Structure formats: C-alpha cells, structure tokens
Amino acid sequence: MRYLGIIFIISFLFSCKKDKEDNSYHPTPYALPQISNFRIAELNPDNPLTEEGVRLGHQLFFEKRLSKDFTLSCASCHLPENGFSDPKQFSEGVGGTLGRRQSMSLYNLAWGKQFFWDGRAKNLEEQALFPVPDTTEMHLTWQEAEQRLNAHIGYKKMFKDAFGTDNITKELVARALAQYVKTIVSYNSPFDKYIRKEGNLSAAALRGYKLFNTEAADCFHCHSTPELFIHPSQVFSNNGLDVVDNPEGFKDKGHGEHTGNPQNNGQFKIPSLRNLTMTAPYMHDGRFKTLDEVIDFYNNGPNLSPSLDPIMITEANRRLLQDGRWGLGLSEQDKADLKAYLISLSDSTVLKNPLYQAPKEM
C-alpha cells in the first residue's frame, strides 16, 4: 500500500509537469467597455470572458449547423438589425414551427439576471443550453450538435484556443455562446450621451423623461436601471395586460410556470427598454406593434388580475380617486413626449459594430 501511495504521488507530480510543458492554453482576457453611466457588470466567475471564447461564441451564434436541417442559427430569431430580437410576433423554428412567445432583445444582458420571459434559466450559460434541443426552435439533439462540431477541424482548433480542450461538449458550446452574448453591449443612445454630458436631448424627449421618472407616467418604478431600464431588484412583474379572474386563468402562466407558485402566474420578466425602435413588436406575446399602442395601454390603465403588480394598482387607483378616470390621464402631447423619450433610448451605433454582424462562415 505504501509503495502504491508513492507511485501515485510520483505519477501525479509527473503529470503536472507534463501538463505545464505541453500546455499551449493561454487565452487573452476580454474586457467589457468601461461605461461611466453603467454599474460594473457582475460576471459569472466560472466563465471568464476571453478574446478566444468571445470569437468562438460569435461564430457559434451565427452557426446553422446547430439546427436540425441547417437552416437556423441563434441569429435567425435574434437578428442584429432588429436589436437582436425578431420582427415576427412569434419566431419560426425548424420546419416553420411557431413558438409561443416573442423573441427577446439581447443587449446588455451581462447586467441581467434570470433569463427568458418566465425566468427558467438562472444565468446565460444555462440559457444557452435551451434553444438547440427545443423542438420549436433549433430541434437538434445535443449529441448530434456535438458530433457535428467535433467533426469540424476549424471548430476543434477554436475550442482548444478558447477552453484548452478540443473535446467539444454542449457545456463548452454554451459557455462560448454566453461569453458572446455578454459582449452585446449598447451604451451610446442619445439618452446615454445626455446623461454623460456628451450631447443634448430634444425638448420633447426631456419632457418625456420627466413624465417617465415621476408619478405622472410612473414608469420608473419598474424601468429604472441605467443598463436595461428594469427594476433594480424585482425581476418579474404583472403589468396588467389581461383581465383574468383566477390564478389558473392566464393563457401563459409566465413566471408561475417556472416556479409552480400560482402567485407568480401572469408575471413576466421586466424587459429592457433599450433599442425599442429596432425591437417591435412588444410584450411577451408581441401583442403591440408600435410604441403608440404600448403607451395607450399604460395610459388606459392596467387590467385586473390576481397577480397584478401593486405598483400598477396604486398609481391607477390614485388617479381613479382623484378624477374618476382609470389610467394615467396623459394628454396627446404627454404621450408624444413619452414616446420621444423612449425613442431616445435607442442606439444606432450598434448597427455598425462588426462584432454584431455575421462572421465569415466556417
């Protein structure tokens, strides 16, 4: 037994030494841009961003080999020119199968937590495992996806550079995709520039900013963080899209479908308000085609349901008591101003960034 122990130790030391000598794995750290009006993103320490990982993720994001019939990539439903979302109300998966929710914009998710409209993925590494086997999306088993990539010499090399191994697994594919998604960053909207004192906003947008950020339109309670315009701590909410009289009555249970708690039925992830000019239609089911429809919805007041967010009720009730009207009571001018403000959160500079275009096919 003693000898066996010694042999183990010697062979262990030997293997360490061998690793050191052979190891050509030296990825280059990748830094997200430093943005003075953003907080520091809290990144997953288990998947540090590297130049090699991001490059690989970029290639994989546009890779149609990840779908059953080689027709779809992630970018087919997250189109860069549409703010990485889909102009269709419901995206088409392989063979034209329709999903049941609107595709989500992917900007600034490095600052996000809990993913999908219902929150079923706790981080982006977990999220990236879903679309490939989803039968309404890419409809390919992970086993087959791994085989296809392992059969490709170019990918073998890219994985080796990014992760130090060319044994391509779904976990590594997901890590690379998550790295790329974290680098999709937008921070040069007219509003960002105004906040950083690099530019001006129109008078209409400034009036809209005030409506948004006060109880007049009362958007800031749920849409206030500088990176995504979401709630600083509350991820899910029911903003009153539908009249529903019992917790089982929601057509899509949203967050409740994930937690199994009926109190969460009808709650959805509070979405980013960045680049709205590119990301129509709006809401989890893409029911609104224009920002005017969104603003009219909020102005008319929420519909009642068991999980309706109290923030919506308080504001609406306050006005109901004051002047006998349900809703915000915004004038036509107010609505136009609010829209001008929402438009000022869109950043056209991202459209020219080569990192957000399809790379050369491999």
Angle between helices 291-300 and 332-343 (to 10 degrees): 130
Report in angstroms how near the CB of residue 211 gets to ligand HEC at its nearest.
Answer: 8
Contact present, 226 and 194 (Cβ < 8 Å): no
> From the list 35, 168, 185, 276, which residue makes contact with ligand HEC (rule: CB under 6 A)?
276
Q: How far is the CB of 23 from ligand HEC (least distance, A)?
A: 29
Query: Residue 300 and residue 291: Cα distance in Å, rounded?
Result: 14
Window 71-100: contact mask with ligand HEC (x via CB under 6 A): -x-x-xxx------------x-x-----x-
- Rg of the chain taking only CA atoms, in angstroms: 24
Among 38, 62, 107, 117, binds ligand HEC (CB under 6 A): 117
**Residue of 35, 49, 56, 104 interacting with ligand HEC (CB under 6 A):** 104
Q: Where are the alpha helices (DSSP H) in the chain?
A: 2-22, 51-61, 74-77, 124-127, 142-150, 153-163, 170-182, 190-195, 203-212, 255-259, 291-300, 310-323, 332-343
Q: Which two tokens stand for residue 164?
A: 């130090």
Min dist. Cβ of residue 26 to ligand HEC (A): 26
Q: Write down the H helix ranges in 30-139.
A: 51-61, 74-77, 124-127
Dihedral sign for Cα 214, 220, 226, 231, please. positive
Interface pattern 280-319 for ligand HEC (x via CB under 6 A):
--xxx---------x---x----------x-xx-------
Q: Report in angstroms how near the CB of residue 231 gets to ligand HEC at its nearest.
A: 7
* 284 vs 270: CA distance, rounded Å: 10
Residue placing its CB nearer to ligand HEC in the complex, 80 or 112: 112
| Residues engaged in binding ligand HEC (CB under 6 A) | 72, 74, 76-78, 91, 93, 99, 101, 103-104, 106, 109, 112, 115-118, 124, 127-128, 131-132, 137-138, 177, 181, 217-219, 221-223, 237, 239, 241, 268-271, 273, 276, 279, 282-284, 294, 298, 309, 311-312, 338
